Structure 1
Amino acid sequence: MPTTATAAPRRKKTSRRDEEAPLIPILARKVREIEAKAQRGKLGPTNRVKFQVIAFLVREERARVKTDAELTDAARAELLKRLDGVATILAKTAARDTSLIQLLEADQATSPVAKRMRRDWLLESGAELAPEELVITDIAPVQTTVVPAALAERQVVPPSVESRQLANPFLAPDLTPRATTQPRRRLDGWELMGPLYKSFETGAGGGAATMELPPTPEYDHISPKGLEVMAHQARFVEAVRAGHRSFLLADEPGLGKTAQSAIAASVADAYPLLAVVPNVVKMNWAREVQRWTPQRRATVIQGDGADIDAFADVFIVNYEILDRHLSWLSSIGLKGMVVDEAHFIKNLSSQRSQNVLALASRIRERTSNPLMMALTGTPLINDVEDFDAIWRFLGWTNGEKPGLQLMDKLDATGLTPADKGFYPEARDAVISMGIVRRKKKDVAADLPDKLVADLPVQLDDEFGRSIRQAERELGERMAAKYRRIVEARTGAAGTSRVPAGEIDEDIVRLVAHNELEESKAAGTGGDNVFTMVRRIGQAKAQLAADYAAQLQRSVDKVVFFAKHIDVMDQAEAHFAASGIKAVSIRGDQSTPARQQAIDAFNTDPEVGIAVCSLTAAGVGVNLQAASNVVLAELSWTAAEQTQAIDRVHRIGQDEPVTAWRIIAAHTIDTKIAELIDRKQGLAGRALDGEAMEDGSTESVQEAALMHLLREALTGAAGS
């Protein structure tokens, strides 16, 4: 749809040198914004487009300045110097994030979003543009195929699906009227995705991110015999009954999101329904569907689907095998789709995310108002733009701009991103699209609090000493790189730009980032942050297992979480030697074996400990028979730690929950625990409207490396 720019805003009074090239101060301001975002590790899609637009506007402006006959040589040299300054910042930013280098090579604005940015900045500078540059036409959406060519050969059609298709070869037509024209909107010419993310990043407006829900019904009309939904669950279902059909259900873990989804599908009659879930919870999903909607049939897709019930109402598939079932799933007339642990799709470049989004797009094409639900207690892992894929799945945005319904809501505010009041209104508009976020303390007064208690342990054996020595060597290796960079930046007069006794944080961040990238490439080879943490886990394994065994004797059941298989193996051997019966929940188990272990822990009084993989058992597993958790190894994300604790801290838990973190004192382990706790603030700002201090937004790995480097530098200075 074509959009035309409105009149350019009146420019502020500028200096004479800016009057000669009024675009340069705009570019300088924008590039500083990009630089600040890059330093905090927050270069999402919108900022990448800004980076690209700055790069080709710098080239355009340099060409104009060089050929401007009205400029004196001195003025031309000054302007070129200022443009070089902008280009230098672009280059430094690209060195920090090498994926930006290809954007420096762009010759022109290609996407409508980039064209609008270029147009708006030029108009702000007072430039006169040709009529064809004022009107920006959106690219007509290309209907993507659900099954990409690379996956075509992997497609399977289970025999029972063929029977279903033969029994009913024609899908019921959807006769709902569709809009044929799109009305012009006041905000069509504005770039809106950045402001939408910013409105959540700052927690604009305050308050929990929950749409207005109907009151709790006086009578429970939805619970099957013998069960009773909680008030917060009933209010959600009433919203579905009222006609709402797209939700980001972001309730804290343990508040019954699976049950709410199953009942919502029944109320909306959204069958057939597809549930895309982590492998570990497939069986639990089938149980919950049967429990809350006993009149409906659910089938779990395993492998090539040879044993599925193709006439079922709910199809449950895990992310890992979805790729081979795309063809038939896209053709059976799905009326709804649920994505459990929706943060799994946040990486838009992954095949997993592309498969989910392609299926969602096909469902919306064939059904006018399908039930689309994204479930996750931790929708944000690192950055507010983690919302991007989820919003696309729900049809709220297409990545470049808001969808029709959201655009209508934004337009109705009467504001633009230039108005400060736009941001709380924009956040409310997105929330009203279907974000539902309830905290346990708000909706489940009888749910006990949880406590995370740190237990420092001393690694005083030879293995522990070798770990600390390896950490010192890693810090010194990075310190040597830091010093080389400082020396390279020393001026001709022999003076350093870094005052004596001070540390240049930009260089620290650059060295740590490069070390992290090298560590990722090296994998398990050599001494790096990943091998260091694994060795710490190995060193803590016996101590953590011994503490869990002592705890079990006092409190009965304990859940023991570890990240690596060898740590789990050591723990299980220790428990066996101590005479404690334990079960294991791992990623390589079959679904029935995993469920058998979960059931044994919850129901068998002889089973005292569940030894769980932090990644395989951290989501969708109910272990509320215990109220104590031992975290033998730390995760790299606050969300993963929270998910693990919430396997115990759930509805039905009637005892206070305590998570005991085993932390290796005087090692990088201590810093990682501190960084994980800092990361908790992001969701508090974005989802709960809480006022939080701005914390570092680097990854935990990078921040931990920066800590090691600072220690090495200050230690050297002190000595």
Structure 2
Amino acid sequence: MAIKAIMKVNDVEKAYEIIKNYNGKNNFLLYLKYKITNNKDVLSEYDIQYILNNYDFEPYLVNRVVKISTVLGRKLTEKYDIDFIPEKIKIGSVIGEMGDSLHCYIQYRQSVNPVLAYVNKNDILNPLETVTTENIDVDFDYYDNISKDGRKIKELQKEGVKFLLANKKCILADSMGCGKTTQSIVSAMASKSKKILIVTTASLKTNWKRELMLYNDETDIQILNGSKDTITDKKYIIANYDILSYYYEVPMETVYRTEIISNSKGETEELRYPVMIKSKTNGQMVEKKKKTIRKDIIKECLKNSPLFLNEFDCVIIDEAQKLSNNTSSRYMVLSDFLKRSNPNYVFLLTGTPLTNKPINLYHILKLIDAPICRDYRYYVNRYCDARTFRLKSGKEITTTNGATNLEELREKIKHLYIRRLLTEMTDMVDKHIITKYYDLSDKQTNEYRRLWQEYTEAQAEQGNYESEQYRQLVEGMLVRQYLAKEMVSNTIELVDQLLEEDGKVIIACTFTDEIEAFKKYYKDKAVVYDGKMLPKQKDKAENEFKNNPKVRVFIGQIIAAGVGLNLVVANKMVFNSYSWVAADNAQIEDRIYRLTQKKDVTCIYQLFNDSISQHMYETVMNKKHMMDTIIKSEQNK
């Protein structure tokens, strides 16, 4: 307490000394100087803290109208007794900061004079400084001329390149088929970066190499395939998510628990034991780890991390929606690497930045150090409907699965990404979504109900009494597999009809049994593309479907076939089953709905009435609506 008192006295003396000699531009500090000089007033504790925080703060002019939260709008209505709730304010100049608030001059109506007020940064929905592309000069003719396939960069792609270069750390969220790969490659080259890291899925590494070779020599490109590969001095390094941990060591330390014991003499001793947990990979008991702040451990880990030591100027992360889970190994490695290496440019590429809920979006935004991510508690409370519960053990847990204030969230993040849709292009073909409904037979209905009963009883035995209205339906895997199997005959009949019209057809599946059933029926007329195949097998299947006229059916597992493929040789897709995640379905749809598609596209979803498949489809569509609410195209921003 004595130390705190001395510190407080020192602070008071320092504040008085500062304010007496203050000659800066902060009007509030000048007012405090007038008070103690002319009126001999005493400074309050708040005044003292304000002086210490802002005596060297340089006021700056904003002079911009910004949108504000409803929270601030209501506060202004109450404070100034006005007859409406402001949705915008004009911020004149900022003269200081206190905590999370700006001390600034604002106008809530054009006809009133500016007033000095504190505005919480979280309540300002637009950035105070606008990044423009006006000064970004790129010689696009150069890239058109050196392209080995005669490719010309389209106007919308030129806009994307300029956006990436101007914002440096941002998201390229164009819908699939708009040429995100080309835009990011040209941006990286135009940035004059000397060392460029490209992170993608294992199946897309060769595709990235092909795209890079359109503008670069093959000798400048290295693909990493595993721990035996050493990062060379080549300009472009391509790595897949799953091998990043071989090249970067996240600084971690063991978590310990303490135990006080007494010996026979009554003396106490404190013992430390490592906390043991079950490994998610092999089920063995292992020591629990946590991120460390110990400098010696951090230094040693970075010394053993080639990704860090190579000093990449630019990092391109493809299919960034795969980083929405912050507990995954790939996320932990990439987020720590980006934080400590701090490259000049970070480009996140994804056609579906919101994979499920706003909390998933938070983790993606954090990779580009978005300002909205600097206050986690505010974010989850405001946009994820965070709720805290106390368990019987006394431990508190917070759920963040909700979605609230989505329009406000959209406004706050719209400057962080650029998104253009194929549907907005005047020369783009149409895409039609068709939903077909079938009735289960009496026999199928009885079997469905039996499986569902077994599932709900199994949940109850595990203590999961509240079914959450079908609970987490993805857990009812046997039920979903059964419905997918029963749908096969309907799909075959439908696909056969489509094949009579000429052309090729894609069948989208979720489960192995479906894939095997279709392959057995279509034999050599079909190729299979699933997650169990090696990259070379996948490439062969893709080439056969695209180039062999006898192969007319592509049987694709939704997750595996949803990225990196251009299948515009077909323009019809039939879903035998579909994903619980709306973004997964959108990804595979856009394998045929792309810039290079010449025919109108038809995607057909199939449902059984009064079953999980119908409820699930409605849920997926609701999530798609939530995605569209938060992530808007440039035309709708």
TM-score, reference length from structure 1: 0.55
Cα distance, 1:588 vs. partner? 1.5
Cα distance, 1:450 vs. partner? 0.9
Alignment partner for residue 614 of structure 1, among 558, 566, 582? 558
Contact 2:173/2:352, CA 8 A, preserved across alignment: yes
Count matched residues.
Answer: 446
Provide closer, same or farther for how the CA distance between residues 328 and 554 of structure 1 changes in structure 2, counting only shifts above 3 A.
Answer: same
Partner of 1:656: 600
Partner of 1:698: none
The 5 Å alignment of 1:406-555 reads 430-432=413-415, 434-442=416-424, 444-460=425-441, 462-471=443-452, 511-513=466-468, 516=471, 529-555=476-502
Alignment partner for residue 573 of structure 2, among 625, 629, 635? 629
Cα deviation, 1:145-165, whole Å, max 9, x if unaligned, reads: xxxxxxxxxxxxxxxxxxxxx
CA distance, structure 2, for counterparts of residue 218 and residue 311 of structure 1: 27
Cα distance, 1:390 vs. partner? 2.1
CA distance, structure 2, for counterparts of residue 431 and residue 673 of structure 1: 28
Provide closer, same or farther for how the CA distance between residues 192 and 685 of structure 1 changes in structure 2, counting only shifts above 3 A.
Answer: farther
Contact 1:628/1:657, CA 8 A, preserved across alignment: yes
CA distance, structure 2, for counterparts of residue 474 and residue 625 of structure 1: 41
Provide closer, same or farther for how the CA distance between residues 391 and 195 of structure 1 changes in structure 2, counting only shifts above 3 A.
Answer: farther
Cα distance, 1:296 vs. partner? 6.9
1:355 aligns with 2:302: no
Alignment partner for residue 324 of structure 1, among 237, 246, 269? 246
Contact 2:318/2:348, CA 8 A, preserved across alignment: yes
Cα deviation, 1:409-465, whole Å, max 9, x if unaligned, reads: xxxxxxxxxxxxx99999667443x411112222x3222121111122333273453
Partner of 1:261: 184
1:376 aligns with 2:350: yes
Partner of 1:236: 160
Provide closer, same or farther for how the CA distance between residues 471 and 401 of structure 1 changes in structure 2, counting only shifts above 3 A.
Answer: closer
Contact 1:214/1:235, CA 8 A, preserved across alignment: no
Cα distance, 1:556 vs. partner? 1.7
Contact 1:195/1:423, CA 8 A, preserved across alignment: no
Provide closer, same or farther for how the CA distance between residues 188 and 553 of structure 1 changes in structure 2, counting only shifts above 3 A.
Answer: farther
Partner of 2:362: 388
CA distance, structure 2, for counterparts of residue 330 and residue 398 of structure 1: 26
1:250 aligns with 2:197: no
Partner of 2:141: 220
Partner of 2:590: 646
Bigger share in strand:
2
Greater Rg by CA: 2
Contact 2:170/2:346, CA 8 A, preserved across alignment: yes
Alignment partner for residue 333 of structure 1, among 301, 305, 311? 311
Contact 2:176/2:351, CA 8 A, preserved across alignment: yes
CA distance, structure 1, for counterparts of residue 45 and residue 570 of structure 2: 68
Provide closer, same or farther for how the CA distance between residues 211 and 426 of structure 1 changes in structure 2, counting only shifts above 3 A.
Answer: farther
Cα deviation, 1:278-303, whole Å, max 9, x if unaligned, reads: 22322212211112445773222223
Unpaired runs of at least 5, structure 1: 1-127, 138-182, 403-421, 485-508, 524-528, 693-719
Provide closer, same or farther for how the CA distance between residues 195 and 594 of structure 1 changes in structure 2, counting only shifts above 3 A.
Answer: farther
1:337 is aligned with what amino acid? V
Provide closer, same or farther for how the CA distance between residues 292 and 534 of structure 1 changes in structure 2, counting only shifts above 3 A.
Answer: farther
1:186 aligns with 2:97: yes
CA distance, structure 1, for counterparts of residue 247 and residue 407 of structure 2: 42
Cα distance, 1:656 vs. partner? 0.5
CA distance, structure 2, for counterparts of residue 388 and residue 136 of structure 1: 34
- Structure 1, 211-220 or 260-269: larger mean CA deviation: 211-220
The 5 Å alignment of 1:157-168 reads none
Cα distance, 1:212 vs. partner? 6.2
Cα distance, 1:663 vs. partner? 1.6
1:511 is aligned with what amino acid? E
What is the SS of the residue equivalent to 1:552? helix
CA distance, structure 1, for counterparts of residue 371 and residue 173 of structure 2: 18
Cα distance, 1:514 vs. partner? 9.3
Cα deviation, 1:554-610, whole Å, max 9, x if unaligned, reads: 23211111011111011110112xxx5111111111112211211221122121111
TM-score, reference length from structure 2: 0.62
CA distance, structure 2, for counterparts of residue 286 and residue 461 of structure 1: 54
Partner of 2:506: 559
Contact 1:215/1:235, CA 8 A, preserved across alignment: no
Partner of 2:207: 284
Contact 1:214/1:238, CA 8 A, preserved across alignment: no
CA distance, structure 1, for counterparts of residue 120 and residue 361 of structure 2: 14
Alignment partner for residue 621 of structure 2, among 646, 660, 677? 677
Bigger share in helix:
1
CA distance, structure 2, for counterparts of residue 554 and residue 469 of structure 1: 40
Provide closer, same or farther for how the CA distance between residues 192 and 548 of structure 1 changes in structure 2, counting only shifts above 3 A.
Answer: farther
2:546 is aligned with what amino acid? N
Provide closer, same or farther for how the CA distance between residues 185 and 321 of structure 1 changes in structure 2, counting only shifts above 3 A.
Answer: farther
Cα deviation, 1:87-128, whole Å, max 9, x if unaligned, reads: xxxxxxxxxxxxxxxxxxxxxxxxxxxxxxxxxxxxxxxxx9
What is the SS of the residue equivalent to 1:584? strand
CA distance, structure 2, for counterparts of residue 248 and residue 549 of structure 1: 41
Partner of 1:314: 236
Provide closer, same or farther for how the CA distance between residues 193 and 609 of structure 1 changes in structure 2, counting only shifts above 3 A.
Answer: farther
What is the SS of the residue equivalent to 1:569? helix
Cα distance, 1:362 vs. partner? 2.6
CA distance, structure 2, for counterparts of residue 569 and residue 187 of structure 1: 64
2:361 is aligned with what amino acid? F
The 5 Å alignment of 1:82-101 reads none
1:590 is aligned with what amino acid? L
CA distance, structure 2, for counterparts of residue 606 and residue 267 of structure 1: 43
Provide closer, same or farther for how the CA distance between residues 596 and 621 of structure 1 changes in structure 2, counting only shifts above 3 A.
Answer: same
Kindly, what percent of the aligned residue pairs are identical?
21
Provide closer, same or farther for how the CA distance between residues 192 and 583 of structure 1 changes in structure 2, counting only shifts above 3 A.
Answer: farther
Cα distance, 1:619 vs. partner? 1.7
1:686 aligns with 2:630: yes
What is the SS of the residue equivalent to 1:447? coil
Cα distance, 1:546 vs. partner? 3.5
2:481 is aligned with what amino acid? R
Provide closer, same or farther for how the CA distance between residues 193 and 607 of structure 1 changes in structure 2, counting only shifts above 3 A.
Answer: farther
Provide closer, same or farther for how the CA distance between residues 671 and 515 of structure 1 changes in structure 2, counting only shifts above 3 A.
Answer: closer
The 5 Å alignment of 1:101-250 reads 186=97, 188-190=99-101, 220-223=141-144, 224-225=147-148, 226-240=150-164, 243-250=166-173
Cα distance, 1:511 vs. partner? 2.0
Partner of 1:571: 518
Provide closer, same or farther for how the CA distance between residues 325 and 561 of structure 1 changes in structure 2, counting only shifts above 3 A.
Answer: same
CA distance, structure 2, for counterparts of residue 554 and residue 276 of structure 1: 41
Partner of 1:120: none
Contact 1:464/1:539, CA 8 A, preserved across alignment: no
Cα deviation, 1:506-540, whole Å, max 9, x if unaligned, reads: xxx982349737x88xx6xxxxx332112111221
Unpaired runs of at least 5, structure 2: 1-43, 54-93, 102-118, 249-304, 377-404
